[in-house]
Amino acid sequence: MAEKRETPQLDELEKGPWPSFVTQMKRAGEKSPMAEELVGLLERSYEDKVGHWKHGGIVGVKGYGGGVIGRYTDLPEEYPHLSEFHTVRVAQPSGWFYTSDMLREICDVWEERGSGLTNMHGSTGDIILLGTTTEQLQPIFDDISDRGFDLGGSGSDLRSPSCCVGPGRCEHACYDTLDMCFDLTNEYQDEIHRPMWPYKFKFKMSGCANDCVAAQARADCSIIGTWRDSIIIDQDEVKQYAADGLDIQARVCDMCPTRCLTYDAEAGELSVRAEDCTRCMHCINVMGKAIKQGKEKGATIMIGAKSTIVKSAFMSWVIVPFMKLEPPYTEFKEMMERIWDWWDENAKTRERIGELIYRKGMGEFLRATGIPAVPQMVYRPRANPYVFWQKDEIEN
Amino acid sequence: MPKIDNGPPDYRLNLPPIVKENYGKWEYHESPRPGVLKHVGPAGALYSVRAGSPRLVSVDFIRDVCALADKYCDGYLRFTSRNNIEFLLSDEANVEPLIEECEAQGLPVGGTGASISNVVHTQGWVHCHTPATDASGITKAVMDDLFEYFKRDDLPNKLRIAMACCLNMCGAAHVSDIALVGVHRTVPRIDHEAVRKSTEIPSLVACCPTAAIRPDPKNKSVTVVEERCMYCGNCYTMSPGMHIMDAKNDGVAILIGGKVSNARTAPAFSRMVIPFLPNNPPRWPEVTEAVRGIVDLWIANARKGERLGEWIERIGWERFFDLSGIPFTDKHIDDYIFSRETFRTGAAFKY
C-alpha cells in the first residue's frame, strides 16, 4: 500500500464513546485497497461537502434482474480501486437471527471478493455488501449461493420482505411474523429477483401494533398483528403492579386513548369496556404481566405506505381490519395478487400502490380488487357529495 | 452450477434452543438493567444483551462479534431493526461477563426501553449518489453527544432518531421522534450534454412532482422553471445531467415528533422545526446542539410515558416553539400538496 493517507476530518470521528464507522473503514482498509481508497474518498467528500458517486450502470448476475446496485466514483483517476464499487444485497434470514458460523461464511466470501465492508443491515432489511467490481459479481453470487444465501430485491420489484422478532422472542406477536416473512419471500422469488413492475413494492410484518419494523410508515403492504376479542386482565397481577408502585390511574387509565379502562384503587381492580378498546397496546406495554392480548389473533392488513419522494410520504391505511394469518396464507396471497394485477395494469412508471390508489380513488381500488368497504378503513366518511355512481347503481 | 432463487437462509436453523422451546409461548419480559432484556416462557428465560453498532462495519468486526457470541451464547445472535446487535443468552451467569467484554471492546451496551437507541441511517457520502450530507458522520456525532441516553432507560419514553441523507428518506426517517434529513436548496444545474447522452427525456419531465421540468426539443434537453422547483432531487435519479448537489447550499433539516407505534396515538409523521443547518463536517456542531436542545427540553417537560410528539401535541406546537426558542418562519408552514390539513381552522390556541 502507498504511504499513509492523511484523513484529519475522519480521524476526528474516531474519537468519542460511540463505536466509529471510520475505525471500521480503516480496519477493512488494512486488507482491502478498495476500502483503503474509500477512506480517502470520504475524506475528500468531507473537504468538498459533496458526494463523489455517480449514477449506477446496469450490472448484475446471471438469472437475476436485481440484487446488485451499480456504483462508480466520479474521481476514478484518483481512486482507481473505486472506479467500480457495486453493492450486493443479500437476503437476510427472518428476524435477523444468525449463528456465528453463518455470519463467518458471508465474511469469508466478502473478504476474498469485495471491500470487506458491510452494512448490518440496509434499510430494507438485507445484508449489504458494500463495494466490489463488476468482474467479482458472478463469483460472489456463486459463492454465497453455495453457502445457502441468495440475493435480495432492488429496482422495480418486490423488495426483500422483513419482519419483527415475532414469536421468536416476543409475547406480543399475534401471528408468526418470522414464518410469514420466510414464506412470502420463498413464494415470490420471481417477483423479488426479476423486476417487472411499475415500481418497488415492500412487505413488512409486525406482530403487534407497536410495529417494531415501522411497517406502517414504509411498506406498501403493512401487516400489523392484532386480536379481535377483549384484552384479558389478571387482577392478582394488577395488585402486584400497584404494590410495586405503578400509578395505574395516571400511567395506564389516563393515557388510554379511548378511556376504556377503569381502575378501582380501593379494590385494586382494573376493568375494561371491551367494545371501546382499539387494541393500541399502551396498557399491555406498561403492565404486560397483568394485561394480555385477546385469544382470537390475526392481523390488520394495511396498504400504501411510502417515504417522501415524490408526492409526500404516505402512511399505510386499513384495507382488511382482521385477517387470520396461518400457513400457507392463501387468503392473503390471493388478495395481494389481485392488488398487484390492478397496480401493474394501471400505474404509471415509478408510481407506488398508495399513490395509484390516491390518484384513482379507493372506490375504484376496492371494486377492482373485490375488497369490501368497511368503516374501519376511514377515520370518518367523506364530507362532499361527489360520489362516482356505477352504471348498475342507477336506473336507465 | 450455483442454484438461483435459493431464498434466504432458514431462520429456524439459527434459533437458540431456548427460543425454539418457548417459540410463540413467551409470557412476559422485563429489563433487569439498561441494555438487557429478560424474556420468560414455560421453558425458562432468554437474556438478550443489546450492543450499539456503527452499522457500517468490517468483516473483522463481525468476526469479533461472532467470537463473543461463541464464548457466551453458543454463537447465537441477531440484529435489531435499529441495527443493534443482540446476543441471545440462556445462561444468566454469562450476562455480566459478556457486558464487560463488550464494553472493553468498545461495544456499548444499552438502547433498551425508555432510552435513545441506535440511529437508523442511510449511506450518505460513503456510498449514495444523491446525498445532501453525510449520514454516518452525523450519526456518530449525535450518538457521541447523546451517549448517556443510550446507557440510561429512565427517559419519559423511548426516543427514536433517524438520519436520511436526502429526501428519499430511506429507513423511515419521516416517522421518527427526531429526523435529520439532508436537504438541497438550489435548482439542478443542467448538463445538457449528459441529458442528451443518457436520459429518457419524457421520463425526466414526468418525474418532476411540481412540473418544473419542461422539454426543450430544439436543444434535445430540458429547462427548469426555477420558481416551481422545491429541490427534491428526483430528477437527478432520472438523469445524471441534473446536478442537484451543491457544496455551499446543501445541509440538514430537522423534523420531530413522529412515531410508528399505535400505542395511545396513531402513527405520525415528523414535522419540520429547523428548515436548514449547514453542512459542517466532521462533527456538525449546529446539528448536535439542536438535537441536544430538543431532547433535553422533552426530558425536562414531558410526562412519564409521553413520546416527544405526544408531549408537543399536548402542549401545542406554538408552545413548543416558544419553549425551545427555535424561531418560527414562513418555511415551517406547508405549501406543498397536502398542506391544508395543517392549517389551524379553529380559533382556540395558545401563546
- The distance of A94 to chain B (nearest Cα, Å) reads 5
What does the pLDDT look like over B216-228, one tens digit per residue?
A: 999 999 999 999 9
Q: Does B56 touch chain A (CB under 8 A)?
A: yes
C-alpha cell at A395: 336506473
Query: What pLDDT, on a 0 to 100 scale, did the predictor assign at position A57?
Result: 74
B250 interaction partners in chain A (CB closer than 8 Å): 49-50
B54/A19 CB distance under 8 A: yes
Q: Helix, strand, or coil here: A264?
A: strand
Give helix B136-145 / helix A21-29 axis angle, nearest 10°: 130
C-alpha cell at A334: 390471493
Sign of CA pseudo-dihedral B195, B198, B202, B205 = negative
- Cβ-nearest to A51 among B24, B129, B141: B129
C-alpha cell at A48: 468538498
Query: What pLDDT, on a 0 to 100 scale, did the predictor assign at position B171?
Result: 72
Q: Does B257 touch chain A (CB under 8 A)?
A: no
Angstrom CA distances, B340 to B175, B259, B334, B335, B337, stand at 20, 21, 8, 9, 8
B285 interaction partners in chain A (CB closer than 8 Å): none
Q: With 60 as the cut, is the pLDDT of residue B20 above it?
A: yes
Scanning A44-103 for CB atoms below 8 A from B yields: 45-46, 48-56, 62-64, 71, 85, 87, 91-103
What does the pLDDT look like over B292-313, one tens digit per residue?
A: 999 999 999 999 999 999 999 9
* Residue-wise burial string across A236-262, b where 16 or more C-beta atoms lie within 10 A, e elsewhere: ebbbebbeeebebbebbbebbeeebbe
Scanning A282-341 for CB atoms below 8 A from B yields: 282, 285-286, 288-289, 307-313, 315
What's the whole-number mean pLDDT along residues B252-264?
Answer: 97
Scanning B30-49 for CB atoms below 8 A from A yields: 39, 41, 46, 48
What does the pLDDT look like over B338-348, one tens digit per residue?
A: 999 999 999 99
* List of long-range contacts for A131-136, beta carbons under 8 Å, 24+ apart: A131/A34, A131/A35, A131/A38, A131/A71, A131/A82, A131/A85, A131/A86, A131/A87, A131/B127, A132/A34, A132/A84, A132/A85, A132/A86, A132/A88, A133/A84, A133/A85, A133/A86, A134/A59, A134/A70, A134/A84, A134/A86
Residues 6+ apart with CB under 8 A from B256: B176, B177, B178, B179, B270, B271, B273, B294, B308, B309, B312
Between B198 and A56, the more confident residue is B198
Q: Which CATH superfamily is domain A162-226+298-393 in?
A: Sulfite Reductase Hemoprotein, domain 1 (3.30.413.10)
B59/A91 CB distance under 8 A: no
Q: Is A394 exposed, middle or buried (0-12, 13-18, 19+ CB in 10 A)?
A: exposed
Residue with cell 453455495: A146
A256/B264 CB distance under 8 A: yes
A211/B67 CB distance under 8 A: no
Which positions of chain A have pLDDT values less than 50? 1
* pLDDT above 90: percentage of residues in chain B: 95
Q: With 80 as the cut, is the pLDDT of residue B267 above it?
A: yes
Q: Does A165 touch chain B (CB under 8 A)?
A: yes
C-alpha cell at B81: 431493526
Three-state SS letters, A181-206: HHHHHHHCHHHHHCCCCCCCECEEEE
A8-146: CATH number: 3.30.70.2500
Residue with cell 433487569: B32
Q: Which of B81, B83, B35 is nearest to A118 (CA)?
A: B83
Query: What pLDDT, on a 0 to 100 scale, did the predictor assign at position B168?
Result: 81
A118/B58 CB distance under 8 A: yes
Domain residue ranges of chain A, discontinuous segments joined by +:
8-146, 162-226+298-393, 232-292
Q: Does B122 touch chain A (CB under 8 A)?
A: yes
Query: What pLDDT, on a 0 to 100 scale, did the predictor assign at position B169?
Result: 82
Start-to-end CA distance of chain A, whole Å, equals: 84
- Cβ-nearest to A171 among B28, B67, B122: B28
Q: Are A170 and B39 a contacting pair, CB within 8 Å?
A: yes
Q: Which of A174, A164, A165, A169 is nearest to B26 (CA)?
A: A169
What's the whole-number mean pLDDT along residues B31-50?
Answer: 98
Residue with cell 401494533: A209
Scanning B168-197 for CB atoms below 8 A from A yields: 168-175
B58/A313 CB distance under 8 A: no
- The distance of B327 to chain A (nearest Cα, Å) reads 24
Query: What pLDDT, on a 0 to 100 scale, did the predictor assign at position A3?
Result: 65
Query: What pLDDT, on a 0 to 100 scale, did the predictor assign at position A64?
Result: 96
A162-226+298-393 and A232-292 share one fold:
no
Query: What pLDDT, on a 0 to 100 scale, did the predictor assign at position A58?
Result: 81
What's the whole-number mean pLDDT along residues B139-159?
Answer: 98
Distance CA A357, CA A83 (A): 41
Cβ pairs bridging A and B (under 8 Å): 344
A178/B11 CB distance under 8 A: yes
Q: Does B211 touch chain A (CB under 8 A)?
A: no
What's the whole-number mean pLDDT along residues B104-131?
Answer: 96
Q: Which domains does chain B have, with CATH numbers?
A: 11-109 (3.30.70.3340), 115-185+249-342 (3.30.413.10), 189-243 (3.30.70.20)
Scanning B287-346 for CB atoms below 8 A from A yields: 304-305, 336-338
Q: With 60 as the cut, is the pLDDT of residue B147 above it?
A: yes
Q: With 70 as the cut, is the pLDDT of residue B230 above it?
A: yes
* pLDDT above 70: percentage of residues in chain B: 100
CATH fold label, A232-292 = Alpha-Beta Plaits (3.30.70)
Helix locations, chain A, DSSP H: 8-12, 21-29, 33-48, 100-113, 134-146, 177-187, 189-193, 215-218, 235-243, 248, 282-286, 330-346, 353-360, 362-369
C-alpha cell at B173: 426517517
Q: Which of B58, B126, B289, B206 is nearest to A82 (CA)?
A: B126
What does the pLDDT look like over A38-53, one tens digit per residue?
A: 999 999 999 999 999 9
- Cβ-nearest to A285 among B85, B167, B263: B263
